[in-house]
Amino acid sequence: MSTPKPLEFTCSRHFLSWLQEQKVSLAFTTYQTNRLFLIGLKPNGQLSGFERLFDRAMGLWATPNHLYLSTRYQFWQFDNVLNPGQLYKGYDQLYVPRISYTTGDLDIHDLVMGKSPQQTLTSNPINVNPPPQAGSGDKVIFVNTLFSCLATLSHQYSFEPIWQPPFISKLTPEDRCHLNGLAMVEGKPRYVTAVSRSDVTGGWRERRQDGGVVMDIEANEIVASEFSMPHSPRFYQGKLWLLNSGTGEFGYLDLPTEKFQPVAFCPGYMRGLAFWRNYAVVGLSKPRDRSFSGLALDERLAAKDTNPRCGLMVIDLTTGSIAHWLELEGVVTELYDVQVLPGVRRPMALGFKSDEIARLVTCPGFSSFQGELSESQKSEGARQSPPYERSGGMGDERQNTEGKNQDSKGETAQPRVKYQLVGNLNPANTLQYDALTFPSIKKHWQTFQQKGILMGISASVAGEMVGLAIAEITPTQENISQAEVLSLFVLPEYRHQGIGTTLVKHLETALAAQKCPQVIVKYQATELTTSALEPLLRKRNWQPPKETFWLAKMSMEKIAQAPWLYKHILPDSFTIFPWSELTDAEKQQIQQTLDYPTSLSPFEDNSRLEPLNSLGLRYGDEVVGWMVTHRVAPDTIRYSTMFVAQRFQKLGRGVALIAEALKQQIASPVPNCTWGVAMENQQMVKFLRRRLAPYTTFISESRQSGKRLKI
């Protein structure tokens, strides 16, 4: 009896740097070896591969703080128990199995969280602790392959069927068509894949080569056919993507023509598809019997003189090329599903084989564990000395600590913290401290340009930086200096010791020494800022925060469904034109004749102007309005300023301008947009609440606080 080869991971040259740059981790299932894998990065930048055993792990769905997993006869919900910035043994996402439902062996394939389709076979589905951002009525929906239907969980039965293909004559455990994949549109199941339209026991096995179909659940009909073993349909950026697994082709279905458009060939049997920005992540498997007998994939591999692989392929959607890959060698040969975990560097999950799951206990108001929290991940760049440090007046300070470590004299050991002024900062050299900034200084420079002098205060313990504050001093319109705090961060294991408060105190002193009479901070209202930052500001006698902006983010997939986009038609006397075509004479005319607020100037930050959908509005030959946008990330456009001359306001001209800009982006591959609307602009606030809010993926508010300094 041969011993299975040990599992080995190999990856392409830039796969790890891609994870680092994109700030994502990956999760995938390997049902043949009963594993859930979590892939991330160790503190030193090496690959972190974490696994847990679950019997025939298959369907996988992820939300920011939850994982949902189908196994041989159970469904599992995992909850992340770590707060932002908190670590457990060096991992920043800790999934704990919280809920399990016993379904029996249904051969569950794809699963999602969403709303039931309108056609429902029964009327008593249940909800399973939906994630906080999920809408009302969201529930687990899965592909019940054995019974050839979509189903949800039930308190009373093994499952509740909610839809079946029109060609399936009855619910019976015969896997008649090998229903397997499920795609969501607007939070509801919309498209499914099946290997055939067979209505007899196991009939799909005879139609693997060209019997595959894609079905529209709402229309209850087949919309495309002649696929070979299709899997993993996903609706993304306005397209229905899927894996034509029997041919090795990843691509999308052009719904109007019902034609499949291949984008990339992958050397393996594809199952599992997820998207992140302009990338697709595809799962690959090796054959069970040394060849894909009867499938075109076998011939394609032979023609390319290559062997099938098991792992993940990262595909660039623009070029169709394989940008990065992760390959598995050894005991694992088949994958099923994959998910992207945004904002997670190194995830892990608890299992059942040790007493760790018994020792880890959490409850409201209790933020620790009956187990040891390890030190934070600390990037080497963030640990290096700043570009320039000046010590002296700040000196060393003992911080109050709640720790119970005793020194040799029986007294509480307290860390000696050294505070230093950091000078000679610029956007380039602040990037090495990104791991010690909040909000991310890297993201700040992606959105804004430097406008003044940067100043920093560092906090160090035993020569290593544990905290950092960064501010920018700029002149106001009255030619009086004002500073803005760009970032304030303390490593998690050094929090609740007064370090953050002391950083702010020293920053105030340093700014006053520079004859800066006022300092402000702008921040997004979140649970973290309201519970940590605002109490700190009150302690330092800052002004009570005031709401300044509404902040919103939405996907083009969602906003494309808004009916108002297509209702506002401009009279013939008005024309919309690309802002890049604005002439110098028109620019001068705008500056001399149009009375617009300085905050709505279309001429700010021209270096980041987005030509795709920055638009102007002409009335005859006169420019009377604009919608100016800026690219703030590869996948995101910020809608920055919109203005229409007063005599044309309240006539719908601004709405038509916004609608056209949105439609231009919808037709592009850029999937997301953001809005920031000043609270005093009541007309735009009303527009955001009425027209945009129903289609947002995120909505919050920006707050501002400040303090007068003694100089």
Judgement on whether residues 489 and 621 belong to the same structural domain of the protein = no
pLDDT at residue 5, rounded to an integer: 62
pLDDT at residue 626, rounded to an integer: 93
Judgement on whether residues 530 and 565 belong to the same structural domain of the protein = no
Residue 471: inside a domain: yes
User: Which residues lie closer than 8 Å to 189 by C-beta, 6 or more apart?
Assistant: 112, 114, 116, 117, 141, 150, 163, 182, 183, 217
Judgement on whether residues 491 and 525 belong to the same structural domain of the protein = yes
Q: If we measure between CA atoms, which residue out of 374, 322, 279 comes closest to residue 21?
A: 279
Residue 684: inside a domain: yes
Mark which of 518, 542, 566 sits at the end of a domain: 542
Judgement on whether residues 425 and 481 belong to the same structural domain of the protein = yes
> Which segments of 202-337 are extended strands (E)?
212-216, 221-227, 230-236, 239-244, 249-254, 259-265, 269-276, 279-285, 311-316, 322-329
Residue 679: inside a domain: yes
Residue 642: inside a domain: yes
Residue 135: inside a domain: no
Residue 469: inside a domain: yes
If one counts the domains in the chain, the total is 2
- What's the mean pLDDT in 455-480? 87
Q: Which of the four pLDDT bands, split at 50, 70 and 90, describes residue 408?
A: very low
Judgement on whether residues 558 and 698 belong to the same structural domain of the protein = yes
Q: Which of the four pLDDT bands, split at 50, 70 and 90, describes residue 48?
A: very high
Judgement on whether residues 586 and 465 belong to the same structural domain of the protein = no
Here the tokens at position 367 are 């933020």
Q: Which of the four pLDDT bands, split at 50, 70 and 90, describes residue 415?
A: low
Judgement on whether residues 477 and 439 belong to the same structural domain of the protein = yes
Q: Count of CB atoms within 10 A of residue 306's CB? A: 11
Of 356-365, 619-628, 642-651, minimum mean pLDDT range: 356-365
Res 70 pLDDT > 50: yes
**How far is the C-alpha of 137 from the C-alpha of 546, rounded, in Å?**
34
Judgement on whether residues 518 and 555 belong to the same structural domain of the protein = no
pLDDT at residue 437, rounded to an integer: 93
Q: Which of the four pLDDT bands, split at 50, 70 and 90, describes residue 611?
A: very high
**How far is the C-alpha of 578 from the C-alpha of 583, rounded, in Å?**
11
Judgement on whether residues 500 and 638 belong to the same structural domain of the protein = no
pLDDT at residue 502, rounded to an integer: 95
Judgement on whether residues 591 and 684 belong to the same structural domain of the protein = yes
| Residue type for position 221 | E
Residue 109: inside a domain: no
Q: Is 554 exposed, middle or buried (0-12, 13-18, 19+ CB in 10 A)?
A: buried
**How far is the C-alpha of 446 from the C-alpha of 634, rounded, in Å?**
10
pLDDT at residue 676, rounded to an integer: 82
| Residue 698: alpha-carbon gap to chain centroid | 11
Say which residue the tokens 């994630």 belong to.
131
Q: Are 391 and 375 in contact (CB under 8 A)?
A: no
CATH number of the domain within which 700 lies: 3.40.630.30
Name the pTM for this structure: 0.54
- Is the model more confident about 263 or about 683? 263
- Domain of 612, in residue numbers: 551-704
**How far is the C-alpha of 57 from the C-alpha of 59, rounded, in Å?**
7
Instruction: Write out the H or E segment, with its range, that includes residue 683.
Output: helix 682-687
In 3-state terms, what secondary structure has residue 660? helix
Residue 648: inside a domain: yes
**How far is the C-alpha of 205 from the C-alpha of 196, rounded, in Å?**
8
Of 43-57, 214-228, 236-250, 472-486, minimum mean pLDDT range: 472-486
Judgement on whether residues 508 and 471 belong to the same structural domain of the protein = yes
Indicate the length of the chain as a whole number.
Answer: 711
Q: Could you read off the pLDDT of 493-545 as tens digits, one per residue?
A: 888 899 999 999 999 999 999 899 999 999 888 888 888 899 999 999 999 99
DSSP state of 503: H
pLDDT at residue 373, rounded to an integer: 36
- What's the mean pLDDT in 473-481? 79
Mark which of 492, 516, 542 sits at the end of a domain: 542
Q: CA dihedral in degrees (587, 589, 594, 595; nearest 10)?
A: 80
DSSP state of 627: E
Res 410 pLDDT > 50: no
Judgement on whether residues 501 and 578 belong to the same structural domain of the protein = no
**How far is the C-alpha of 84 from the C-alpha of 89, rounded, in Å?**
15
pLDDT at residue 290, rounded to an integer: 52
DSSP assignment of 354-373: STHHHH---BTTB---SS--
Mark which of 542, 563, 598 sits at the end of a domain: 542
> Mean pLDDT over all residues of the chain?
86
Percent of the chain with pLDDT over 70: 88
| Residue 98: alpha-carbon gap to chain centroid | 23
